[in-house]
Amino acid sequence: MTERKLLVTSALPYANGSIHIGHLVEYVQTDVWVRFQKMIGNRCHYVCASDTHGTPIMINAKKQGVTPEELVERFRAEHQEDFKNFHIDFDYYGSTNSESNRVLSESFYEAAKRKGGIAIRDVAQLYSEVDGMFLPDRFVKGTCPTCKEVDQYGDSCEKCGATYNPQDLISPKSVVSGDTPILKESVHHFFTLSKFESVIKAWLDAGVVREEVRKKLGEWFEEGLKDWDISRDDPYFGFKIPGTDNKYFYVWLDAPVGYISSTLDWSKDATLTDEIWKGDDWEVHHFIGKDILYFHCLFWPAMLAAAEYAMPTKVNIHGFLTVNGEKMSKSRGTFIMAKTYLEHVDPEFLRYYYISKLSSHIEDIDLNLEDFVFKVNSDVLGKFINIGSRLASIVYKKCDSTLTRSDTEGVALLDELLAEAENVKVLYEALEYSKCMKLIMGLADKVNKYIDATTPWALVKEDKEAAASVCTTGLNAFRIIATYLSPVLPRITHDIAIFLSLESLKWTDLGTHLNEHVIQKYAHLAKRLELEDVQKVIQV
Protein backbone atom coordinates (compact mmCIF):
# COMPACT_ATOMS: atom_id res chain seq x y z
CA MET A 1 0.00 0.00 0.00
CA THR A 2 1.28 3.47 -0.94
CA GLU A 3 2.35 5.61 2.00
CA ARG A 4 0.03 8.54 2.57
CA LYS A 5 1.48 11.92 3.53
CA LEU A 6 -0.67 13.71 6.09
CA LEU A 7 -0.50 17.08 7.83
CA VAL A 8 -2.97 17.20 10.73
CA THR A 9 -4.08 20.16 12.84
CA SER A 10 -6.37 20.83 15.78
CA ALA A 11 -7.88 24.26 16.43
CA LEU A 12 -5.35 26.56 18.05
CA PRO A 13 -6.14 27.01 21.77
CA TYR A 14 -6.54 30.62 22.84
CA ALA A 15 -3.68 31.67 25.11
CA ASN A 16 -5.88 33.54 27.58
CA GLY A 17 -6.91 30.79 30.00
CA SER A 18 -6.27 27.23 31.12
CA ILE A 19 -7.15 24.04 29.27
CA HIS A 20 -10.33 22.36 30.52
CA ILE A 21 -11.74 18.90 29.89
CA GLY A 22 -14.05 20.24 27.18
CA HIS A 23 -11.03 21.35 25.14
CA LEU A 24 -9.52 17.90 25.48
CA VAL A 25 -12.24 16.20 23.42
CA GLU A 26 -10.73 17.65 20.26
CA TYR A 27 -7.08 17.04 21.06
CA VAL A 28 -7.70 13.45 22.16
CA GLN A 29 -9.77 12.80 19.02
CA THR A 30 -6.99 14.20 16.84
CA ASP A 31 -4.11 12.56 18.70
CA VAL A 32 -5.71 9.11 18.41
CA TRP A 33 -6.15 9.55 14.65
CA VAL A 34 -2.54 10.71 14.25
CA ARG A 35 -1.16 7.83 16.33
CA PHE A 36 -3.24 5.40 14.29
CA GLN A 37 -1.92 6.82 11.01
CA LYS A 38 1.68 6.58 12.21
CA MET A 39 1.09 3.06 13.52
CA ILE A 40 -0.10 1.74 10.15
CA GLY A 41 2.91 3.25 8.37
CA ASN A 42 1.71 6.56 6.98
CA ARG A 43 3.83 9.69 7.13
CA CYS A 44 1.80 11.87 9.45
CA HIS A 45 2.70 15.11 11.23
CA TYR A 46 0.59 16.87 13.86
CA VAL A 47 1.13 20.62 14.25
CA CYS A 48 -0.59 23.09 16.51
CA ALA A 49 0.06 26.49 18.09
CA SER A 50 -1.18 28.98 20.61
CA ASP A 51 -3.71 31.48 19.27
CA THR A 52 -2.29 34.66 20.74
CA HIS A 53 -3.94 37.84 19.49
CA GLY A 54 -7.03 39.92 20.22
CA THR A 55 -8.64 42.34 22.65
CA PRO A 56 -9.31 39.80 25.45
CA ILE A 57 -5.61 38.99 25.76
CA MET A 58 -4.65 42.65 25.67
CA ILE A 59 -7.10 43.52 28.47
CA ASN A 60 -6.23 40.47 30.61
CA ALA A 61 -2.53 41.26 30.35
CA LYS A 62 -3.19 44.84 31.44
CA LYS A 63 -5.19 43.61 34.46
CA GLN A 64 -2.35 41.30 35.48
CA GLY A 65 0.33 43.93 35.00
CA VAL A 66 2.23 42.01 32.32
CA THR A 67 2.73 42.45 28.59
CA PRO A 68 0.50 40.50 26.20
CA GLU A 69 3.60 38.63 25.05
CA GLU A 70 4.37 37.54 28.61
CA LEU A 71 0.77 36.45 29.19
CA VAL A 72 0.54 34.31 26.05
CA GLU A 73 3.90 32.67 26.67
CA ARG A 74 2.81 31.75 30.18
CA PHE A 75 -0.38 30.10 28.92
CA ARG A 76 1.47 28.55 26.00
CA ALA A 77 3.84 26.78 28.38
CA GLU A 78 0.94 25.73 30.66
CA HIS A 79 -1.07 24.37 27.73
CA GLN A 80 1.85 22.32 26.46
CA GLU A 81 2.37 20.79 29.89
CA ASP A 82 -1.32 19.82 30.14
CA PHE A 83 -1.32 18.33 26.65
CA LYS A 84 1.82 16.35 27.41
CA ASN A 85 0.24 14.93 30.57
CA PHE A 86 -2.74 13.74 28.53
CA HIS A 87 -0.32 12.13 26.04
CA ILE A 88 -1.20 14.54 23.22
CA ASP A 89 1.85 14.14 21.01
CA PHE A 90 2.38 17.14 18.74
CA ASP A 91 5.22 17.13 16.24
CA TYR A 92 5.38 20.88 16.72
CA TYR A 93 3.59 23.43 18.90
CA GLY A 94 4.11 27.01 17.76
CA SER A 95 2.63 30.46 18.28
CA THR A 96 0.64 32.76 16.03
CA ASN A 97 2.69 35.65 17.44
CA SER A 98 5.72 34.53 15.44
CA GLU A 99 7.63 36.38 12.76
CA SER A 100 6.84 33.66 10.22
CA ASN A 101 3.12 34.08 10.92
CA ARG A 102 3.34 37.86 10.56
CA VAL A 103 5.01 37.55 7.17
CA LEU A 104 2.56 34.91 5.96
CA SER A 105 -0.49 36.84 7.23
CA GLU A 106 0.65 39.92 5.33
CA SER A 107 1.18 37.81 2.19
CA PHE A 108 -2.39 36.45 2.45
CA TYR A 109 -3.75 39.99 2.78
CA GLU A 110 -1.72 41.30 -0.17
CA ALA A 111 -2.77 38.34 -2.34
CA ALA A 112 -6.45 38.99 -1.56
CA LYS A 113 -5.92 42.67 -2.32
CA ARG A 114 -4.43 41.86 -5.73
CA LYS A 115 -7.44 39.68 -6.52
CA GLY A 116 -9.87 42.47 -5.67
CA GLY A 117 -10.85 40.67 -2.49
CA ILE A 118 -10.32 43.57 -0.08
CA ALA A 119 -12.78 46.46 0.33
CA ILE A 120 -12.20 49.50 2.55
CA ARG A 121 -15.11 51.53 3.93
CA ASP A 122 -16.35 53.44 6.97
CA VAL A 123 -18.28 51.58 9.66
CA ALA A 124 -20.10 52.82 12.75
CA GLN A 125 -19.18 50.93 15.92
CA LEU A 126 -19.67 51.23 19.63
CA TYR A 127 -16.81 53.15 21.22
CA SER A 128 -16.08 53.56 24.93
CA GLU A 129 -14.59 56.94 25.74
CA VAL A 130 -13.62 55.69 29.20
CA ASP A 131 -11.83 52.61 27.83
CA GLY A 132 -10.47 54.55 24.86
CA MET A 133 -11.33 51.75 22.44
CA PHE A 134 -13.89 50.32 20.04
CA LEU A 135 -15.70 47.48 21.75
CA PRO A 136 -15.74 44.00 20.17
CA ASP A 137 -19.03 42.06 20.33
CA ARG A 138 -18.16 40.23 23.52
CA PHE A 139 -17.06 43.41 25.27
CA VAL A 140 -20.56 44.89 25.16
CA LYS A 141 -23.57 43.77 27.19
CA GLY A 142 -27.13 45.05 27.18
CA THR A 143 -30.77 44.14 26.69
CA CYS A 144 -31.66 41.85 23.79
CA PRO A 145 -33.53 43.87 21.12
CA THR A 146 -35.71 40.84 20.30
CA CYS A 147 -36.85 39.28 23.58
CA LYS A 148 -35.77 42.06 25.96
CA GLU A 149 -33.64 39.70 28.10
CA VAL A 150 -31.08 41.74 30.08
CA ASP A 151 -27.32 41.15 30.37
CA GLN A 152 -26.76 39.75 26.88
CA TYR A 153 -23.57 40.00 24.79
CA GLY A 154 -23.29 42.19 21.71
CA ASP A 155 -23.55 39.42 19.11
CA SER A 156 -26.34 37.05 20.23
CA CYS A 157 -28.91 36.39 22.93
CA GLU A 158 -28.45 33.29 25.05
CA LYS A 159 -32.16 33.18 25.88
CA CYS A 160 -33.91 33.52 22.50
CA GLY A 161 -30.97 32.81 20.15
CA ALA A 162 -31.35 36.04 18.16
CA THR A 163 -28.24 37.43 16.45
CA TYR A 164 -27.67 41.14 16.00
CA ASN A 165 -25.06 43.90 15.81
CA PRO A 166 -23.73 45.38 19.08
CA GLN A 167 -25.30 48.75 18.28
CA ASP A 168 -28.74 47.08 18.23
CA LEU A 169 -28.51 46.31 21.97
CA ILE A 170 -30.80 48.27 24.29
CA SER A 171 -28.86 50.15 26.99
CA PRO A 172 -25.42 48.84 25.97
CA LYS A 173 -22.58 48.93 28.50
CA SER A 174 -18.86 48.25 28.24
CA VAL A 175 -17.91 44.95 29.89
CA VAL A 176 -14.54 46.49 30.74
CA SER A 177 -15.59 49.67 32.53
CA GLY A 178 -19.40 49.75 32.62
CA ASP A 179 -19.28 52.91 30.48
CA THR A 180 -22.14 53.64 28.09
CA PRO A 181 -20.52 53.58 24.63
CA ILE A 182 -21.20 55.97 21.77
CA LEU A 183 -21.43 55.28 18.03
CA LYS A 184 -18.27 56.30 16.25
CA GLU A 185 -17.13 55.81 12.67
CA SER A 186 -13.86 54.18 11.65
CA VAL A 187 -12.28 52.96 8.43
CA HIS A 188 -12.30 49.16 8.20
CA HIS A 189 -10.88 46.57 5.84
CA PHE A 190 -13.19 43.80 4.58
CA PHE A 191 -12.53 40.49 2.87
CA THR A 192 -15.15 40.20 0.10
CA LEU A 193 -16.14 36.60 0.68
CA SER A 194 -18.70 36.54 -2.14
CA LYS A 195 -15.91 36.78 -4.75
CA PHE A 196 -14.83 33.27 -3.76
CA GLU A 197 -18.29 31.70 -3.49
CA SER A 198 -17.88 29.34 -6.45
CA VAL A 199 -14.52 27.97 -5.33
CA ILE A 200 -15.78 27.42 -1.76
CA LYS A 201 -18.88 25.61 -3.06
CA ALA A 202 -16.81 23.38 -5.35
CA TRP A 203 -14.54 22.48 -2.43
CA LEU A 204 -17.45 21.66 -0.13
CA ASP A 205 -19.12 19.57 -2.85
CA ALA A 206 -15.97 17.42 -3.06
CA GLY A 207 -16.82 15.69 0.23
CA VAL A 208 -14.48 17.52 2.62
CA VAL A 209 -17.19 17.68 5.30
CA ARG A 210 -20.06 15.40 6.24
CA GLU A 211 -23.31 15.90 4.33
CA GLU A 212 -25.17 17.38 7.30
CA VAL A 213 -22.42 19.99 7.64
CA ARG A 214 -22.53 20.83 3.94
CA LYS A 215 -26.28 21.38 4.19
CA LYS A 216 -25.82 23.67 7.19
CA LEU A 217 -23.25 25.71 5.29
CA GLY A 218 -25.68 25.87 2.37
CA GLU A 219 -27.95 28.04 4.52
CA TRP A 220 -25.28 30.74 4.60
CA PHE A 221 -24.92 30.62 0.82
CA GLU A 222 -28.71 31.04 0.49
CA GLU A 223 -28.58 34.13 2.69
CA GLY A 224 -25.68 35.47 0.62
CA LEU A 225 -22.07 35.55 1.80
CA LYS A 226 -21.37 38.77 3.64
CA ASP A 227 -18.14 40.74 3.59
CA TRP A 228 -15.89 39.80 6.50
CA ASP A 229 -14.42 42.58 8.65
CA ILE A 230 -10.74 41.64 9.01
CA SER A 231 -9.49 44.80 10.72
CA ARG A 232 -9.49 46.12 14.27
CA ASP A 233 -8.58 49.55 15.61
CA ASP A 234 -5.77 50.56 17.91
CA PRO A 235 -5.34 49.63 20.78
CA TYR A 236 -5.15 45.98 19.77
CA PHE A 237 -2.70 43.13 20.31
CA GLY A 238 -1.95 41.71 16.89
CA PHE A 239 -0.21 42.31 13.57
CA LYS A 240 -0.50 45.75 11.99
CA ILE A 241 -2.08 45.80 8.51
CA PRO A 242 0.54 46.87 5.95
CA GLY A 243 0.20 50.48 4.83
CA THR A 244 -1.81 51.57 7.89
CA ASP A 245 -0.91 53.42 11.07
CA ASN A 246 -3.53 52.16 13.51
CA LYS A 247 -5.24 49.12 11.94
CA TYR A 248 -4.59 45.51 12.92
CA PHE A 249 -5.54 42.15 11.49
CA TYR A 250 -8.53 40.65 13.28
CA VAL A 251 -7.31 37.58 15.18
CA TRP A 252 -9.34 35.24 12.95
CA LEU A 253 -7.29 36.28 9.93
CA ASP A 254 -3.88 35.39 11.33
CA ALA A 255 -5.00 32.43 13.49
CA PRO A 256 -5.61 29.91 10.65
CA VAL A 257 -2.52 31.17 8.85
CA GLY A 258 -0.81 29.82 11.97
CA TYR A 259 -1.40 26.31 10.63
CA ILE A 260 0.95 27.09 7.75
CA SER A 261 3.49 29.12 9.73
CA SER A 262 3.68 26.30 12.30
CA THR A 263 4.33 23.85 9.48
CA LEU A 264 7.15 26.12 8.29
CA ASP A 265 8.59 26.58 11.79
CA TRP A 266 8.45 22.80 12.35
CA SER A 267 9.98 21.80 9.01
CA LYS A 268 12.37 24.77 8.67
CA ASP A 269 11.95 24.10 4.97
CA ALA A 270 9.95 26.48 2.76
CA THR A 271 9.99 24.00 -0.13
CA LEU A 272 8.49 21.22 1.98
CA THR A 273 5.93 23.64 3.42
CA ASP A 274 4.86 24.59 -0.10
CA GLU A 275 4.67 20.90 -1.05
CA ILE A 276 2.33 20.31 1.87
CA TRP A 277 0.12 23.38 1.48
CA LYS A 278 0.27 24.02 -2.27
CA GLY A 279 0.91 20.63 -3.87
CA ASP A 280 -1.12 17.49 -4.59
CA ASP A 281 0.93 14.86 -2.74
CA TRP A 282 -0.04 15.78 0.82
CA GLU A 283 -3.39 15.61 2.59
CA VAL A 284 -4.30 18.33 5.10
CA HIS A 285 -6.81 17.33 7.79
CA HIS A 286 -8.31 19.87 10.19
CA PHE A 287 -10.03 18.86 13.45
CA ILE A 288 -12.32 21.53 14.91
CA GLY A 289 -15.38 22.08 17.11
CA LYS A 290 -18.73 22.97 15.61
CA ASP A 291 -18.54 26.50 17.02
CA ILE A 292 -15.83 27.53 14.53
CA LEU A 293 -17.35 25.86 11.49
CA TYR A 294 -17.98 29.19 9.75
CA PHE A 295 -14.35 30.27 9.97
CA HIS A 296 -12.88 26.99 8.72
CA CYS A 297 -15.39 26.18 5.99
CA LEU A 298 -16.05 29.64 4.52
CA PHE A 299 -13.37 32.19 5.47
CA TRP A 300 -10.36 29.88 5.51
CA PRO A 301 -10.89 28.26 2.08
CA ALA A 302 -11.54 31.73 0.63
CA MET A 303 -8.24 32.96 2.09
CA LEU A 304 -6.43 29.92 0.72
CA ALA A 305 -7.97 30.40 -2.72
CA ALA A 306 -6.99 34.07 -2.78
CA ALA A 307 -3.38 33.25 -1.90
CA GLU A 308 -3.32 30.27 -4.31
CA TYR A 309 -2.86 27.53 -1.74
CA ALA A 310 -4.41 24.08 -1.98
CA MET A 311 -7.66 23.38 -0.16
CA PRO A 312 -7.75 21.17 2.95
CA THR A 313 -8.57 17.52 2.29
CA LYS A 314 -10.96 17.13 5.22
CA VAL A 315 -12.47 19.24 7.97
CA ASN A 316 -13.50 16.92 10.81
CA ILE A 317 -16.01 18.50 13.18
CA HIS A 318 -17.02 17.39 16.67
CA GLY A 319 -19.69 18.55 19.11
CA PHE A 320 -19.36 19.93 22.63
CA LEU A 321 -18.85 18.16 25.94
CA THR A 322 -21.57 18.10 28.57
CA VAL A 323 -21.06 16.81 32.12
CA ASN A 324 -23.83 14.73 33.68
CA GLY A 325 -26.10 15.79 30.84
CA GLU A 326 -25.67 19.54 31.30
CA LYS A 327 -23.46 22.30 29.98
CA MET A 328 -20.22 22.57 31.96
CA SER A 329 -20.82 24.88 34.90
CA LYS A 330 -18.51 26.61 37.36
CA SER A 331 -21.30 26.82 39.95
CA ARG A 332 -21.84 23.05 39.78
CA GLY A 333 -18.11 22.36 39.82
CA THR A 334 -18.26 20.65 36.42
CA PHE A 335 -16.13 23.24 34.62
CA ILE A 336 -13.12 21.01 35.23
CA MET A 337 -9.60 22.15 34.40
CA ALA A 338 -7.16 19.65 32.95
CA LYS A 339 -4.79 20.20 35.89
CA THR A 340 -7.53 19.45 38.42
CA TYR A 341 -8.45 16.21 36.69
CA LEU A 342 -4.79 15.11 36.56
CA GLU A 343 -4.46 15.48 40.33
CA HIS A 344 -6.95 12.66 40.92
CA VAL A 345 -7.56 10.43 37.88
CA ASP A 346 -5.44 8.64 35.25
CA PRO A 347 -5.49 10.68 32.01
CA GLU A 348 -5.77 7.51 29.91
CA PHE A 349 -9.15 6.79 31.48
CA LEU A 350 -10.53 10.06 30.09
CA ARG A 351 -8.93 9.35 26.71
CA TYR A 352 -10.67 5.99 26.57
CA TYR A 353 -14.03 7.35 27.70
CA TYR A 354 -14.03 10.13 25.10
CA ILE A 355 -13.04 7.72 22.34
CA SER A 356 -15.73 5.25 23.41
CA LYS A 357 -18.28 8.05 22.88
CA LEU A 358 -17.00 9.79 19.74
CA SER A 359 -18.13 9.18 16.17
CA SER A 360 -17.71 10.98 12.87
CA HIS A 361 -20.89 12.98 13.53
CA ILE A 362 -21.07 16.32 15.35
CA GLU A 363 -23.36 15.38 18.23
CA ASP A 364 -22.35 16.53 21.71
CA ILE A 365 -20.93 13.85 23.99
CA ASP A 366 -21.67 13.54 27.69
CA LEU A 367 -19.26 12.79 30.50
CA ASN A 368 -21.56 11.04 32.96
CA LEU A 369 -19.40 10.51 36.01
CA GLU A 370 -21.04 7.27 37.18
CA ASP A 371 -20.96 5.87 33.65
CA PHE A 372 -17.33 6.97 33.38
CA VAL A 373 -16.38 4.89 36.43
CA PHE A 374 -18.41 1.91 35.25
CA LYS A 375 -17.10 1.96 31.67
CA VAL A 376 -13.44 2.36 32.63
CA ASN A 377 -13.62 -0.45 35.17
CA SER A 378 -15.65 -2.70 32.87
CA ASP A 379 -13.72 -2.15 29.63
CA VAL A 380 -10.19 -1.02 30.36
CA LEU A 381 -9.64 -3.05 33.52
CA GLY A 382 -12.29 -5.80 33.46
CA LYS A 383 -12.07 -6.79 29.80
CA PHE A 384 -8.66 -5.65 28.55
CA ILE A 385 -6.07 -5.46 31.35
CA ASN A 386 -7.70 -8.44 33.04
CA ILE A 387 -6.39 -10.72 30.26
CA GLY A 388 -2.77 -9.97 31.11
CA SER A 389 -3.18 -9.90 34.88
CA ARG A 390 -4.93 -13.31 34.92
CA LEU A 391 -2.19 -15.08 32.98
CA ALA A 392 1.04 -13.29 33.87
CA SER A 393 1.64 -14.89 37.26
CA ILE A 394 0.97 -18.40 35.91
CA VAL A 395 3.61 -17.97 33.20
CA TYR A 396 6.05 -16.21 35.51
CA LYS A 397 5.76 -18.60 38.49
CA LYS A 398 4.86 -21.93 36.88
CA CYS A 399 6.19 -21.81 33.31
CA ASP A 400 9.66 -20.25 33.66
CA SER A 401 8.41 -16.91 32.27
CA THR A 402 8.30 -18.54 28.85
CA LEU A 403 5.54 -18.65 26.26
CA THR A 404 5.42 -21.86 24.22
CA ARG A 405 2.98 -22.44 21.32
CA SER A 406 -0.77 -22.28 20.87
CA ASP A 407 -2.76 -25.44 20.17
CA THR A 408 -5.31 -25.68 17.34
CA GLU A 409 -8.06 -24.03 19.37
CA GLY A 410 -5.72 -21.24 20.40
CA VAL A 411 -4.55 -20.58 16.84
CA ALA A 412 -8.20 -20.36 15.73
CA LEU A 413 -8.88 -17.73 18.41
CA LEU A 414 -5.87 -15.66 17.38
CA ASP A 415 -6.89 -15.90 13.74
CA GLU A 416 -10.35 -14.62 14.69
CA LEU A 417 -8.79 -11.58 16.38
CA LEU A 418 -6.46 -10.91 13.46
CA ALA A 419 -9.31 -11.17 10.97
CA GLU A 420 -10.74 -7.98 12.48
CA ALA A 421 -7.59 -5.92 11.83
CA GLU A 422 -8.97 -4.41 8.63
CA ASN A 423 -12.26 -3.49 10.31
CA VAL A 424 -10.34 -1.81 13.14
CA LYS A 425 -8.39 0.19 10.54
CA VAL A 426 -11.52 1.23 8.67
CA LEU A 427 -13.23 2.44 11.85
CA TYR A 428 -10.20 4.41 13.09
CA GLU A 429 -9.78 6.02 9.67
CA ALA A 430 -13.45 7.02 9.51
CA LEU A 431 -13.37 8.45 13.07
CA GLU A 432 -16.00 5.91 14.08
CA TYR A 433 -14.22 5.50 17.39
CA SER A 434 -17.20 4.33 19.43
CA LYS A 435 -17.86 1.46 17.01
CA CYS A 436 -14.14 0.65 17.01
CA MET A 437 -13.98 0.38 20.81
CA LYS A 438 -17.07 -1.84 20.85
CA LEU A 439 -15.45 -4.12 18.29
CA ILE A 440 -12.18 -4.35 20.22
CA MET A 441 -13.87 -4.92 23.58
CA GLY A 442 -15.98 -7.64 21.95
CA LEU A 443 -12.73 -9.37 21.03
CA ALA A 444 -11.51 -9.00 24.61
CA ASP A 445 -14.73 -10.67 25.77
CA LYS A 446 -13.97 -13.65 23.54
CA VAL A 447 -10.48 -13.97 24.98
CA ASN A 448 -11.78 -13.86 28.55
CA LYS A 449 -14.37 -16.53 27.73
CA TYR A 450 -11.56 -18.69 26.31
CA ILE A 451 -9.57 -18.25 29.53
CA ASP A 452 -12.65 -19.00 31.65
CA ALA A 453 -13.28 -22.20 29.67
CA THR A 454 -9.68 -23.46 29.79
CA THR A 455 -8.97 -22.50 33.45
CA PRO A 456 -5.16 -22.38 33.13
CA TRP A 457 -4.77 -21.74 36.91
CA ALA A 458 -6.25 -25.21 37.53
CA LEU A 459 -4.80 -26.83 34.41
CA VAL A 460 -1.23 -25.96 35.37
CA LYS A 461 -1.49 -28.28 38.41
CA GLU A 462 -2.22 -31.27 36.15
CA ASP A 463 -0.68 -30.43 32.76
CA LYS A 464 1.93 -27.71 32.80
CA GLU A 465 2.52 -27.94 29.03
CA ALA A 466 -1.19 -27.52 28.22
CA ALA A 467 -1.48 -24.62 30.66
CA ALA A 468 1.55 -22.94 29.04
CA SER A 469 -0.13 -23.29 25.64
CA VAL A 470 -3.33 -21.67 26.93
CA CYS A 471 -1.34 -18.80 28.48
CA THR A 472 0.61 -18.40 25.25
CA THR A 473 -2.65 -17.98 23.33
CA GLY A 474 -4.05 -15.60 25.93
CA LEU A 475 -0.99 -13.35 26.03
CA ASN A 476 -0.67 -13.31 22.24
CA ALA A 477 -4.32 -12.25 22.16
CA PHE A 478 -3.48 -9.62 24.80
CA ARG A 479 -0.74 -8.28 22.51
CA ILE A 480 -3.11 -8.10 19.51
CA ILE A 481 -5.76 -6.21 21.46
CA ALA A 482 -3.14 -3.93 23.02
CA THR A 483 -1.89 -3.10 19.52
CA TYR A 484 -5.42 -2.22 18.44
CA LEU A 485 -5.81 0.01 21.50
CA SER A 486 -2.36 1.63 21.42
CA PRO A 487 -3.54 4.91 19.79
CA VAL A 488 -6.03 5.35 22.64
CA LEU A 489 -4.00 4.06 25.62
CA PRO A 490 -0.37 4.86 24.73
CA ARG A 491 1.03 4.65 28.28
CA ILE A 492 -0.70 1.41 29.26
CA THR A 493 0.14 -0.30 25.98
CA HIS A 494 3.76 0.87 26.20
CA ASP A 495 3.98 -0.83 29.58
CA ILE A 496 2.41 -3.96 28.09
CA ALA A 497 5.13 -4.01 25.42
CA ILE A 498 7.75 -3.94 28.19
CA PHE A 499 5.97 -6.78 30.02
CA LEU A 500 6.01 -8.82 26.79
CA SER A 501 9.72 -8.08 26.19
CA LEU A 502 8.98 -6.07 23.05
CA GLU A 503 10.45 -2.75 21.97
CA SER A 504 6.99 -1.58 20.89
CA LEU A 505 3.65 -2.81 19.60
CA LYS A 506 3.67 -2.64 15.82
CA TRP A 507 0.81 -3.09 13.39
CA THR A 508 3.14 -4.95 11.03
CA ASP A 509 3.88 -7.50 13.78
CA LEU A 510 0.24 -8.39 14.44
CA GLY A 511 0.47 -11.78 12.72
CA THR A 512 3.81 -12.75 14.26
CA HIS A 513 3.05 -14.72 17.41
CA LEU A 514 5.26 -14.73 20.48
CA ASN A 515 6.27 -18.40 20.54
CA GLU A 516 9.16 -19.74 22.65
CA HIS A 517 9.39 -16.23 24.01
CA VAL A 518 10.47 -15.03 27.48
CA ILE A 519 8.32 -12.35 29.13
CA GLN A 520 9.03 -10.03 32.07
CA LYS A 521 7.52 -9.99 35.52
CA TYR A 522 4.09 -8.40 35.33
CA ALA A 523 3.81 -4.87 36.72
CA HIS A 524 0.51 -3.32 37.78
CA LEU A 525 -0.91 -1.40 34.79
CA ALA A 526 -3.80 0.62 36.21
CA LYS A 527 -5.70 1.09 39.43
CA ARG A 528 -9.43 0.43 39.61
CA LEU A 529 -11.35 3.69 39.36
CA GLU A 530 -13.56 4.63 42.30
CA LEU A 531 -16.42 7.14 42.17
CA GLU A 532 -14.88 9.07 45.07
CA ASP A 533 -11.74 9.60 42.92
CA VAL A 534 -13.84 11.20 40.21
CA GLN A 535 -15.88 13.24 42.68
CA LYS A 536 -12.65 14.87 43.87
CA VAL A 537 -12.37 16.69 40.54
CA ILE A 538 -15.78 18.29 41.15
CA GLN A 539 -15.17 21.47 43.09
CA VAL A 540 -18.32 23.28 44.17
The whole-angstrom distance between residue 95's C-alpha and the CA centroid of its chain comes to 17
Q: Is 82 inside a domain boundary?
A: yes
- The range of the structural domain enclosing residue 275 comes to 1-117+195-318
Q: Mean pLDDT over residues 98-125, rounded?
A: 97
Q: Residue 100 is which amino acid?
A: S
Q: Which of 240-244, 278-282, 329-333, 532-536 is the least confident region?
A: 329-333
Q: Mean pLDDT over residues 29-55, rounded?
A: 98
Give the pLDDT band of residue 540 (cuts 50, 70, 90). very low
pLDDT at 125 exceeding the cut of 60: yes
pLDDT attached to residue 231: 96
pLDDT at 1 exceeding the cut of 70: no
Same domain, 239 and 288: yes
Same domain, 102 and 246: yes
Residue 249, phi then psi, degrees to nearest 5: -65, 130
DSSP category for residue 522: P
Q: What is the pLDDT of residues 185-230, one digit of tens each?
A: 999 999 999 999 999 999 999 999 999 999 989 989 998 999 999 9
Q: Is 539 inside a domain boundary?
A: no
Q: What is the pLDDT of residues 140-191, one digit of tens each?
A: 999 999 999 999 999 888 888 787 889 999 999 999 999 999 999 999 999 9
Predicted TM-score of the model (pTM): 0.96
With contact defined as beta carbons under 8 Å apart, do 260 and 49 qualify?
Answer: no
Domain harbouring 496, CATH code:
1.10.730.10
pLDDT at 530 exceeding the cut of 80: yes
Q: Mean pLDDT over residues 119-133, rounded?
A: 95
The residue out of 169, 191, 213 marking a domain boundary is 191
Same domain, 109 and 170: no
Give the pLDDT band of residue 539 (cuts 50, 70, 90). low
Q: What is the pLDDT of residues 379-417, one digit of tens each?
A: 999 999 999 999 999 999 999 999 999 999 999 999 999
pLDDT attached to residue 33: 98
Residue (of 511, 411, 382, 533) closest to 470 by Cα position = 411
The residue out of 134, 156, 191 marking a domain boundary is 191
Same domain, 444 and 464: yes
Q: Mean pLDDT over residues 414-433, rounded?
A: 98
Instruction: Please tell me the total number of residues recorded for the chain in this structure.
Output: 540
Same domain, 237 and 281: yes
Q: What is the pLDDT of residues 295-318, one digit of tens each?
A: 999 999 999 999 999 999 999 999
Same domain, 141 and 94: no
With contact defined as beta carbons under 8 Å apart, do 416 and 446 qualify?
Answer: yes
pLDDT attached to residue 331: 83
Q: Is 531 inside a domain boundary?
A: no
Q: Is 339 inside a domain boundary?
A: no
Mean pLDDT of all residues belonging to the chain: 96
Same domain, 42 and 94: yes
pLDDT at 434 exceeding the cut of 60: yes
Q: Is 326 inside a domain boundary?
A: no
232 DSSP β-pair partners? 248
Same domain, 125 and 98: no
Q: Is 176 inside a domain boundary?
A: yes
Same domain, 256 and 306: yes
Q: Which of 36-40, 125-129, 332-336, 340-344 is the least confident region?
A: 332-336
pLDDT attached to residue 47: 98
Q: Mean pLDDT over residues 483-488, rounded?
A: 98
Same domain, 171 and 308: no
Q: Mean pLDDT over residues 114-140, rounded?
A: 94
With contact defined as beta carbons under 8 Å apart, do 118 and 109 qualify?
Answer: yes
Same domain, 147 and 212: no
Q: How much of the chain, in percent, has pLDDT values that exceed 70?
A: 99
pLDDT attached to residue 136: 87
Give the pLDDT band of residue 137 (cuts 50, 70, 90). confident
Q: Mean pLDDT over residues 434-438, rounded?
A: 98
Q: Is 533 inside a domain boundary?
A: no
The residue out of 142, 174, 191 marking a domain boundary is 191
Domain harbouring 174, CATH code:
2.170.220.10
Residue (of 253, 238, 260) closest to 53 by Cα position = 238
Q: Convert 488-514 to b/e letters by CB count within 10 Å (16 or more is b).
A: bbbebbebbbebbebeebebeebeebb
Same domain, 466 and 478: yes
186 DSSP β-pair partners? 123
Domain harbouring 294, CATH code:
3.40.50.620
Q: Residue 189 is which amino acid?
A: H
With contact defined as beta carbons under 8 Å apart, do 489 and 380 qualify?
Answer: yes
Kindly state the helix (H) or strand (E) to which residue 33 belongs, with its residue range. helix 21-39
The gap between the terminal CA atoms of the chain, to the nearest Å, is 53
Q: Is 306 inside a domain boundary?
A: yes
pLDDT at 330 exceeding the cut of 90: no
pLDDT attached to residue 440: 98
- Counted domains in the chain: 3
